[in-house]
Amino acid sequence: MSYIQQGTKIYRRTSFSFFAAGFNTFAILYCAQPLMLEFTTEFNISPTTASLSLSITTIALAISMLIFGSLSEVWGRKPVMVYSMLLASGLCVLTAFSPSFHILLVFRTLVGITLAGLPSVAMAYLGEEIEPKSLGSAMGLYISGNAIGAVAGRLISGTLSDFFGWHIAIAGIGIISLVATLIFWYSLPPSQNFSSRKLDIGKLGKSLIDHLKDPGLVCLYGMGFLLLGSNVALFNYIGYVLTAKPYSLSQTIVSWIFIILIIGMFSSVLTGKLVDRHGKQKILILNLIITLVGVCMTLEPHLLLKVIALGLFTFGFFGSHSIASSWVGQRALKNKAQASSLYLFLYYTGSSVGGTIGGIFWSTFGWDGLIGMIIGFLIIAFILTACLSKIVLKAKHIPAVKESC
């Protein structure tokens, strides 16, 4: 097998391609989040209903990821990713012309389905084509594209909507994403180490069930669900708080607050170093504590403290997610790609559920009620961490018992 090596021209092209791909995916996915306030006003709907513009996309993405990963085994890695990005970008532009909220939701559902072809295949392509010692840096650039896309999608759409309305905002994101798709298509080399296989639904279903029989993996899947559910619930409705009295901030300023999510890039790197020194369990608990402190601090009415609280929450969230997601790959003994895709499925399902249920708490009990719901999510995450620690400790003692017999 011939691998792509770091320092070569083809490595730089591949890394840049996946940076553009990550940007494309997450800009399209999250561009609706800062527009929820406009949807509420224009379509005369509740904040909970407006949240469906993001929730319905993430649940469609979550379900479709389980399918696209298997389809790429038959159709090839690059074709699935390219057509996925092209269709999603085109649908994003069409979403801007939605005459009603129901039509907008139809387009956002289709966007979620088509977007799934990129994240479900990207890591498989990189793992097959990049030499092992260069894989970490290539994966890091792809994840950076994810993070920057998620921030830019929110920031650009929020700013454009403040000046030109949500139609132009979504169309703008779609056009930028089309450009990113063309860069990806042109720059990414075809697969060299991929060989197509027959699609075996029976084996796929059996392996997914096997992963769900592992209580340790179930704990990690539950954590992913709760973590992104908490994150999306918090950031979905913070805009409603900050644009209302006593803050009365403009949509543009609120959109710039999303730049705080870039903290996650630094949090993930620092967390990785701390895990190497102190172990996964301790650092996961530390990050969950930081997340909990951050969400509790958002109850403070002072604006600066609220922003600092969002920063703390973001730091802890990304640190916790990076540990949980990497732990899945280490714990799964076989079919690691499927184990990871199952984690992502529940991760994005948590986004849909947390974002929508959070709207019910927000509409019924206000900001205090929403924060109470998120605290409940995080308490369950602490319980799952404790259960996981017991499972790991028990597994460590099993060999010692057998040897002493």
Per-residue pLDDT of 35-48, as tens digits, reads 999 999 999 999 99
User: 264 and 392: one domain?
Assistant: yes
pLDDT higher for 396 or 390?
A: 390
Is the pTM higher than 0.75? The answer reads yes
What is the predicted pLDDT for the residue at 201? 64
Q: Rounded CA gap, 14 and 356, in Å?
A: 37
Per-residue pLDDT of 288-325, as tens digits, reads 999 999 999 999 999 999 999 999 999 999 889 888 88
What is the predicted pLDDT for the residue at 196? 62
DSSP state of 248: -
Q: How far apart are the first and last CA of the chain?
A: 45
What is the predicted pLDDT for the residue at 5? 75
* Structural domain span for residue 26: 1-194
Domain count, the chain: 2
pLDDT category, 400, cuts 50, 70, 90? Answer: very low
Per-residue pLDDT of 119-130, as tens digits, reads 877 777 777 787
What is the predicted pLDDT for the residue at 116? 87
Q: Rounded CA gap, 127 and 3, in Å?
A: 10
User: 84 and 163: one domain?
Assistant: yes
**Beta carbons within 8 Å of 296's beta carbon, 6+ residues apart:** 309, 371, 375
What is the predicted pLDDT for the residue at 404? 35
* Residue where a domain stops, chosen among 194, 226, 258: 194
Per-residue pLDDT of 67-105, as tens digits, reads 776 676 666 778 888 999 999 999 999 999 999 999 999
Please give the single-letter amino acid code of residue 256. Answer: W
Retrieve residue 270's tokens. 């620092």
Average pLDDT over residues 5-32: 86
Retrieve residue 70's tokens. 């298997």
Residue 102: name the closest of 58, 147, 50, 34 by CA.
50
Say yes or no to pLDDT of 51 above 70.
Answer: yes
* Residue where a domain stops, chosen among 143, 162, 194: 194
Residue 279: name the closest of 219, 326, 212, 223 by CA.
326
CATH number (domain holding residue 157): 1.20.1250.20
User: 65 and 207: one domain?
Assistant: no
